[in-house]
């Protein structure tokens, strides 16, 4: 008699915590991901801004789940769900059958129908994205050193971040720090402190999920770090030379897109009605209405009744992952499934050196204290995931442990000796 098959698609925070919650359970678990690693996404902006090496925030899924004997890990890209056949089809046509499916493929960047902008303004979702942004940022300063025309040099030294959410804010703050501090004194033909970092947001404040008071605190801290914050400006065009904002033009060689996300397309293949951003509308127990054998979690899910709305953050995905796993086990035991309720332990957004905003219950704070809180929380969670403060010491000790600290496959970008993008050889 074979065990019930639980198939988990995606191994971000949601998928990983679902898999872990099934440890030791009488089920046959298969986890499919299109990369070989679980990514600690809250620190991805640090890789994009050269503060951390990729292996410090990425861990092979096999290593995390290797000791879990009821679980297999497959490297593959799920293309669609065949609800009638209860299978998921991978990119090479292989069909994986399931008794229970947990869909946790998350979100991707949305350019609101302007897909041509992507080539000029990459988003930040994967390690590959982070490498691409890091490459563009670092090379912009190099090109500026070779460029003798002041107007063109200024375009190399203008960095535009589009979108004032958490990722846009932390990227803009860190880019300003790189220009003002990290690179100081390393160039002969210009002063990197004259580089300009512009954060563009369409509505009238940054960090919209936060109360207006904290948005204003965030804006003030960004300006103090050297970021120019443009509020209420909507992007109407992006090309290799810069950004168009209605009648206004910003000449900039480096543009990063943090303005919109959409659900990954596999959600649509379940063929149920989708909600805002292409998310799958789920029942209170996270199952798909009419399909109790399918649960959708994390950024791919939309739980309509929940007030306040569940934010797209790691703790929410983790809680949903654990909850979905428990509901699978309940269903297998013939017990009723339970409704999901998000527990909000607080919200933190970092802005840069000594700059952050925080909200814990009714308490709101900002500046150095919020930043230290953010740092402590993230080091704590990173260590909980695996002790990464000692990644390098790992290597010195590799002799004893047989561990290796950089087993990371990335999807690499096409590169070009000189151009900022393939279409831009100037």
Active site residues: 170
Q: Which is nearer to its own copies, 244 or 373 (CB)?
A: 373
44 touches 345 (CB < 8 A): no
Q: Please identify which residue in the block is written with the tokens 């846009």.
A: 168
Backbone angles phi, psi at 62, to 5 degrees: -60, -35
Q: Are 54 and 47 in contact (CB under 8 A)?
A: yes
Q: How many CA atoms lie within 13 A of 77 on its CB side?
A: 8
Contact in structure between 389 and 380 (CB atoms under 8 Å):
no
Pick between residue 52 and residue 104 the one whose CB is nearest to its own copies: 52
**Least distance CB 409 / its own copies (angstroms):** 5
Taking the complex as a whole, how short is the minimal distance between the CB of residue 391 and its own copies, in angstroms? 5
Question: Could you give the CA distance from residue 344 to residue 137 in angstroms, rounded to a whole number?
Answer: 35
Q: Toward its own copies, which CB reaches closer, 67 or 305?
A: 67
Best CA proximity match to 122, nearest among 114, 112, 132, 113: 132
- Rounded to a whole number of angstroms, the minimum distance from the CB of residue 116 to its own copies is 21
Residue recorded with tokens 């995390």: 64
CA dist., res. 327 & res. 232, Å (int): 44
Q: Which is nearer to its own copies, 185 or 247 (CB)?
A: 185
Q: Considering beta carbons, is residue 339 or 398 the nearer one to its own copies?
A: 398
Closest separation in Å from C-beta 162 to its own copies: 23
* Nearest residue (CB) to its own copies, 33 versus 285: 33
CA atoms within 13 A on the CB side of 51: 17
Neighbours of 281 (CB within 10 A): 17
Distance from C-alpha of 288 to C-alpha of 274, rounded to nearest angstrom: 11
Cα 184 off chain centre by: 30
Nearer to its own copies, 52 or 286 (CB): 52
Smallest distance, its own copies to C-beta of residue 62, A? 4
Handedness of CA 278, 279, 282, 288 (dihedral sign): positive
Beta carbon of residue 185, minimum distance to its own copies (angstroms, whole number): 6
Burial profile 44-59: b = 16 or more Cβ within 10 angstroms, e = fewer: bbbbbbbebebbbbbb
Q: CB-based burial of residue 186 (10 Å sphere; 0-12 exposed, 13-18 middle, 19+ buried)?
A: exposed
**Residue among 9 and 259 whose Cβ is closer to its own copies:** 9
Please, what sign has the CA dihedral across residues 322, 328, 333, 337? positive
Nearest to 357 by CA among 163, 166, 164, 162: 166
Query: Residue 209 Cβ, how far from its own copies at the closest point, in Å?
Result: 27
CA distance 392 to 415: 28
């Amino acid at each position: 008699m074979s065990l019930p098959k639980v198939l988990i698609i995606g191994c971000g925070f949601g998928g990983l915590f679902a898999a872990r919650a099934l440890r030791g359970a009488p089920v046959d678990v298969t986890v499919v991901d299109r990369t070989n690693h679980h990514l600690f996404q809250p620190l991805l902006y640090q890789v994009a801004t050269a503060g951390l090496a990729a292996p410090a925030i990425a861990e092979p899924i096999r290593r995390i789940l290797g000791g879990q004997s009821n679980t297999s890990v497959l490297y593959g890209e799920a293309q669609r769900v065949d609800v009638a056949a209860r299978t998921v089809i991978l990119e090479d046509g292989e069909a994986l059958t399931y008794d229970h499916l947990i869909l946790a493929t998350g979100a991707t960047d949305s350019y609101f129908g302007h897909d041509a902008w992507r080539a000029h303004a990459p988003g930040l979702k994967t390690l590959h994205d982070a490498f691409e942004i890091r490459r563009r940022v670092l090379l912009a300063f190099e090109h500026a050193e070779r460029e003798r025309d002041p107007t063109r040099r200024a375009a190399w030294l203008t960095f535009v971040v589009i979108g004032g959410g958490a990722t846009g804010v932390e990227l803009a703050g860190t880019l300003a720090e790189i220009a003002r501090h990290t690179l100081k004194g390393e160039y002969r033909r210009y002063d990197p402190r004259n580089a300009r970092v512009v954060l563009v947001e369409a509505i009238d404040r940054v960090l919209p999920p936060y109360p207006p008071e904290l948005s204003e605190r965030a804006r003030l801290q960004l300006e103090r770090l050297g970021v120019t914050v443009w509020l209420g400006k909507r992007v109407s065009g992006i090309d290799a030379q810069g950004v168009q904002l209605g009648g206004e033009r910003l000449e900039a060689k480096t543009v990063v897109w943090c303005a919109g996300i959409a659900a990954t397309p596999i959600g649509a293949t379940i063929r149920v009605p989708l909600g805002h951003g292409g998310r799958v509308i789920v029942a209170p127990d996270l199952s798909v209405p009419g399909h109790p054998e399918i649960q959708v979690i994390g950024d791919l899910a939309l739980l309509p009744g929940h007030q306040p709305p569940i934010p797209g953050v790691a703790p929410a995905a983790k809680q949903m992952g654990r909850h979905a796993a428990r509901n699978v086990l309940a269903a297998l035991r013939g017990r009723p499934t339970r409704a999901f309720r998000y527990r909000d332990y607080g919200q933190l957004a970092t802005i840069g050196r000594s700059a952050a905003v925080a909200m814990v219950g009714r308490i709101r704070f900002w500046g150095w204290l919020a930043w230290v809180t953010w740092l402590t929380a993230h080091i704590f969670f990173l260590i909980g995931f695996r002790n990464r403060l000692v990644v390098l010491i790992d290597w010195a000790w590799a002799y004893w442990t047989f561990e290796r600290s950089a087993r990371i496959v990335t999807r690499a970008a096409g590169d070009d000796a000189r151009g900022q993008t393939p279409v831009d050889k100037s």
